[in-house]
A and B are shown apart, each in its own frame.
Chain A
Amino acid sequence: MIKFSDKQLKIPNLMKPVYLATVGMSKFGRAFPETRTEELCIQALTDAADFVNMTPAELKQYIHTCYYGHFADHFGDQLLGEAVIHDRLGLDPLGNIGVKTGGATGGSAMWEAVKAVASGYSDCALALGWERMDEVPTDEGNHLISAAADKDWETPLGHIYTGYYAVMAQRYWKVFGKEEDSFRRTMAEVSVKNHGYARMNPHAQAPMKITVDDVIKSPIVADPLRVLDCCLMSVGSACGIVCDEKTAYEITDNPLRIYIAAGSHTLRVADRRDMTIPLLPNETPNQYDNLGKEFPGADRYPGFTGFLAARMAAYYAYRMAGVNDPTEDLDVVELHDAFTISDIQTYEDIGIRPYGQGRDYIESGDAYVINPNNNKPGALPSNPSGGLIGCMHAVGATGLMQIAEIGYHIWNRWDDIHEPQAKWDAFGREKPSDWTSLQVNGAKRGLAISHAGVGSHVTCTILMDPNKILKED
């Protein structure tokens, strides 16, 4: 569609408030040659039980339905992997279903779980995701990932997904980045920030203390993207449990309100047609009338420079949750930094900055836990987990890891998860001597973006302290 009816633009409505009661994560890594997937999933669910001082058996007593995020079952040569995990978690005979929306799979699994509770079908639902991409040689893995593009029109072109994606990065680089060295360095800053934050996270796969020059000199993947501009390929699991109000307060004294919405756009970027920009609450009509003059080549929307699916997920979610301006109304975000440049694109799609000005979110220091320009708290810290670049991208689990991480900040328990020496030891990872808390102090509201491939599916999840909601029910 390039025009929307009023019915299609209806703001989604949850029939009752939904709460996030607990979350959990496994260790994340590039490969687990001596660990079965179910061991990682049980690790995540046990972690969620630990978080609310329950045994797994006690927590399971509340669960009524299960939504499993697992994208690439062709990697494991195992269909109905969801049934395997469901059995190993000891949750038969509860109803369960698998969700597959590429990189947005974790967010989409949560989208389904929230609707199950909101509708009254379930009082408590589990969203649990996982992925493992370590069980084929890398070139066959590249082929299997490229099968998420169009089989006839794209996959035969090199069997390499990065190629289908990077044409968008190139266009953004030329049009909005104007091929400036300063923009290239800003892209690199995203990687430096996220790899650096990963150093404080025992779950994270790629902690690194690096510089902008390290990123710019790392091996080239597809110009202007280099290895350190790109997300990780990971194995691991994460989960979240959502409930109605009564059940949530039975599990914990401090559940969080959860809102979530989804958008989509063409699987092939080739199919994108020109359309009017759907406006977010903090944007004004005619705001973008001169975008094509200011940035020659930006006269097509979404063209190759925006993600319509992200824009629509935010369009729905902000109005659901009463968010007017994300920088003003939110305290912390976890974004889908598949690539440094797509992270910058997303700042614009979700209204942190207007289209064309995404780089300012990094350059201003707003995106940091501590703003490097003034050593004061950043206005809206982004990806303190390390994100997909520094922490993990275990596809089916990624969106759920992001939601968990936002939850830890609002619960004011980020340190409980990331600081204990015992966890660093259990994961076989060395805790840095300069370990620093990344808890966003006073965080009451946050957002997570879960995003598929070239933008075919995106979910926008918003978490809030129930005493700090922005819109009356």
Chain B
Amino acid sequence: MPKTEEEKGFVDVVNGRYKPKGKFHISEANQPIFNKDTGKLAGVTNPRDMTYIHSYGGEAVFFESLGKGKLMATRCDNDNCETKGSIYQPFRIFCPDCLRRATVIDMTEIAQKTAKIHSFIVTHRSGAFNSLPKPIKFINIEFEGVVTILMSVLAVGDPAIGKRIVPIFNTKAPTYTITDLRFVPEGTLESELPEGFTF
């Protein structure tokens, strides 16, 4: 059952420290586990209701930008790095070769013009806490000039290797997670997009 507003936990950062407010766990008594065939005790349940507090650190700009309809990446601009000029998506805070801080770039237009499916898989299964509609159409995406192959999901239509796609963004009610970014086939109409998403 979803928690009420009073039961939710919220966190702010104040003076450089996390300031939690609201409820962060609801205690629930354990229950015994009996073997129904023998009537003997086998064990107990250990109910847990936990909320983790997590820092995005240097990747925060990526997740915040999704809600503004922008796809940010990074590029190594270190003249002394043998892989200078490499663009990374997934966004990497530091170049994996020279370990210098990479430059944040806006690659929304690159994605709109060059994204295509490298591989895909469709699954009807998910784990607990899944928020995506099933079946989930996982895709990995190639972009021109980008050295890596981003994972995301296809929100409309069927995937195929080589299919041209474009990014869409959850700009109306962002969750500030990777699920704010999805892709649709090139030519998809705005009216076909999931609720809250825009090009």
Within 8 Å CB of B138, what residues of A? Answer: 157-158, 163-164, 166-167
Within 8 Å CB of A220, what residues of B? Answer: 124
Nearest-Cβ distance from residue B57 to partner chain A, whole angstroms: 10
Q: Per a CB cutoff under 8 Å, which of A154, A160, A167, A174 touches B125?
A: A160
B120 touches A33 (CB 8 A): no
Q: CA A269 – CA B42 in complex, angstroms?
A: 41
Among A169, A220, A222, A269, chain B packs the most CB atoms within 10 A around the CB of: A222
A143 touches B178 (CB 8 A): no
Q: Per a CB cutoff under 8 Å, which of B56, B151, B161 touches A268?
A: B151
Q: Does B130 contact A (CB under 8 A)?
A: yes
Within 8 Å CB of B118, what residues of A? Answer: 171, 304
Main secondary structure of the interface of B (DSSP, over half): loop
Within 8 Å CB of A168, what residues of B? Answer: 119
Within 8 Å CB of A152, what residues of B? Answer: 54, 56, 59, 63, 177-178
B90 touches A156 (CB 8 A): no
Q: Does B148 contact A (CB under 8 A)?
A: yes
| Interface positions of A from 144 to 159, Cβ below 8 Å from B | 144-146, 150-154, 156-159
Name the residue on A nearest B139 (C-beta).
A167
Name the residue on B nearest A172 (C-beta).
B119
Nearest-Cβ distance from residue A377 to partner chain B, whole angstroms: 38
Q: Per a CB cutoff under 8 Å, which of A169, A222, A270 touches B148?
A: A270
Q: Does B39 contact A (CB under 8 A)?
A: no
Q: Does B114 contact A (CB under 8 A)?
A: no
Q: Does A422 contact B (CB under 8 A)?
A: no
Within 8 Å CB of A153, what residues of B? Answer: 90, 151, 178
Name the residue on B nearest A162 (C-beta).
B123
Q: Does B49 contact A (CB under 8 A)?
A: no
Q: CA A39 – CA B148 in complex, angstroms?
A: 46
Q: Does B26 contact A (CB under 8 A)?
A: no
Q: CA A159 – CA B132 in complex, angstroms?
A: 9
Nearest-Cβ distance from residue A11 to partner chain B, whole angstroms: 24
Q: CA A271 – CA B179 in complex, angstroms?
A: 18
Q: Does B112 contact A (CB under 8 A)?
A: no
B121 touches A33 (CB 8 A): no
Within 8 Å CB of B43, what residues of A? Answer: 33-34
How many residue pairs bridge A and B at CB < 8 Å? 142
| Interface positions of A from 292 to 349, Cβ below 8 Å from B | 297, 304
Q: CA A274 – CA B148 in complex, angstroms?
A: 8
Q: Does A77 contact B (CB under 8 A)?
A: yes
Q: CA A222 – CA B159 in complex, angstroms?
A: 13
Beta-carbon contacts of A3-36 to B below 8 Å, as 1s and 0s?
1000000000000000000000000000001100
Nearest-Cβ distance from residue B64 to partner chain A, whole angstroms: 13
Q: Does A264 contact B (CB under 8 A)?
A: no
Given A77-B48, A171-B161, A221-B125, also A158-B136 (CB < 8 A) = yes
Within 8 Å CB of A272, what residues of B? Answer: 148-149
Within 8 Å CB of B123, what residues of A? Answer: 158, 160, 162-163, 166, 221-222
Q: Does A376 contact B (CB under 8 A)?
A: no
Q: Does B193 contact A (CB under 8 A)?
A: no
Within 8 Å CB of B153, what residues of A? Answer: 157-158
A142 touches B83 (CB 8 A): no
Q: Does B191 contact A (CB under 8 A)?
A: no
Within 8 Å CB of B125, what residues of A? Answer: 142, 160, 162, 221-222
Name the residue on B nearest A144 (C-beta).
B127
Nearest-Cβ distance from residue B128 to partner chain A, whole angstroms: 4
Question: What 10 pairs between A and B have smallest CB-CB spacing?
Answer: A142-B127, A159-B127, A143-B127, A171-B119, A166-B121, A222-B123, A167-B119, A143-B128, A139-B128, A140-B128
Residues of chain A whose beta carbon lies under 8 Å from any beta carbon of chain B: 1-3, 33-34, 77, 137, 139-146, 150-154, 156-164, 166-171, 174, 220-223, 268-274, 297, 304
